[in-house]
């Protein structure tokens, strides 16, 4: 059995981080890495001290029948990427020139935050229905790669 590549290693950690998520719809994990060192982690869930959807009896977005990728402001959850950025701010850690490993492609709001935070590369596992996010990341010059394509040498922006 060989050692995993750095990308495989970090993606496996990202998947483990996602197991802490409390969202009933989608469990997402994110880690920010620079120079092969983990800077911060994040998973999706409500702000600290706020009841999880399961504790309040269900998901507001499900109750309102809101499709995935729409009306994200109507969610109790903070996205995994946002929590990773917030953790960096709380701990005084620069994430400039870092790489984000994330289980789901960032949404438009997270994409804007990642661009302004100086993240230079995103490696994601699963897609997300948000073409605006892909467009803005490409325009900003952020390298975006789907994890499954790493072994085939294909890149996506």
Q: Which residues are catalytic?
A: 81
Asked if 118 contacts 124 with a C-beta cutoff of 8 angstroms, the reply is: no
How many other CB atoms are found less than 10 A from the CB of residue 117?
Answer: 18
Q: In the chain, what's the furthest Cα-to-Cα distance? A: 48
- The continuous run of DSSP H or E covering 10 comes out as helix 6-18
Nearest to 59 by CA among 20, 28, 23, 27: 23
Q: Which residues of 97-112 are buried (b: 16+ CB within 10 A; e: fewer)?
A: ebbbbbbbbbbbbbbb
d(CA 137, CA 110): 10
């Amino acid at each position: 059995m060989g050692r995993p590549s750095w990308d495989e290693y970090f993606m496996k950690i990202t998947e483990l981080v996602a197991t802490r998520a409390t969202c009933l719809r989608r469990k997402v994990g994110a880690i920010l890495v620079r120079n092969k060192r983990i800077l911060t982690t994040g998973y999706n869930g409500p702000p600290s001290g706020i009841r999880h959807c399961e504790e309040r009896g269900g998901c507001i977005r499900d109750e309102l029948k809101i499709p995935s990728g729409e009306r994200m402001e109507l969610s109790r959850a903070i996205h995994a990427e946002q929590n990773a950025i917030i953790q960096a701010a709380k701990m005084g850690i620069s994430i400039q020139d870092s790489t984000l490993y994330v289980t789901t492609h960032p949404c438009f709001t997270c994409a804007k935050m990642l661009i302004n935070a100086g993240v230079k590369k995103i490696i994601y596992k699963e897609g997300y229905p948000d073409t605006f996010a892909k467009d803005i990341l490409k325009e900003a010059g952020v390298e975006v790669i789907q994890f499954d394509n790493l072994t085939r040498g294909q890149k996506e922006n």
